[in-house]
Structure 1
Amino acid sequence: MSDAKTPMTREERLAARLRENLKRRKAQARAMEAVAGGADATAAESPDSPETGLSNPAA
């Protein structure tokens, strides 16, 4: 294959790196989703986090 011997252009190298990065990030996101399970839904309903964002809403 003579194409393998020709040097890649900057744009081609960047595109390849972006594809690799996207694949890696998707794999990480899937792994985090598998580990977290439903933790995201319960974290949003946590009583420790006030809905208004105020530290003392009664004041």
Structure 2
Amino acid sequence: MTDKTGKAAPKGARGERLKQALRENLKRRKAQSRARSQPVTAEERGLDEAAAGGPDDSKR
């Protein structure tokens, strides 16, 4: 439908974009939550400390 200005009804398109964005956000948050619940191995912990300037980098 169009209104008096000749523009198409944006609320439907906006609603669809919002619905899609919310769906993608939920998927991303679920994936992050799953990744956080995974146990971290000692090797990964060592790599994370080195990348973050852990104890090994503080010896100057």
- TM (norm. structure 2) is 0.50
Residue type matched to 2:49 in 1? E
Deviation of 1:9 (Å): 1.1
State the partner residue of 2:49. 45
Residue type matched to 1:45 in 2? E
Superposition misfits of 4+ residues, deviation over 3 angstroms: none
Query: What pairs with 1:18-29 in structure 2 (closer than 5 Å)?
Result: 18-29=21-32
State the partner residue of 1:15. 18
Listed one character per residue, the Cα deviations across residues 13-37 of structure 1 (whole Å, up to 9, x for unaligned) are: 00000011111110000001111x3
- TM (norm. structure 1) is 0.50
Question: Percent identity, aligned pairs only?
Answer: 5
Give the length in aligned residue pairs.
40
Instruction: Report 1 or 2 for greater relative contact order, CA contacts < 8 Å, sequence distance ≥ 6.
Output: 2
Question: In 1, distance between residues paired with 2:18 and 2:26?
Answer: 12
Unaligned ranges ≥5, structure 1: 1-7, 52-59
Unaligned ranges ≥5, structure 2: 1-10, 51-56
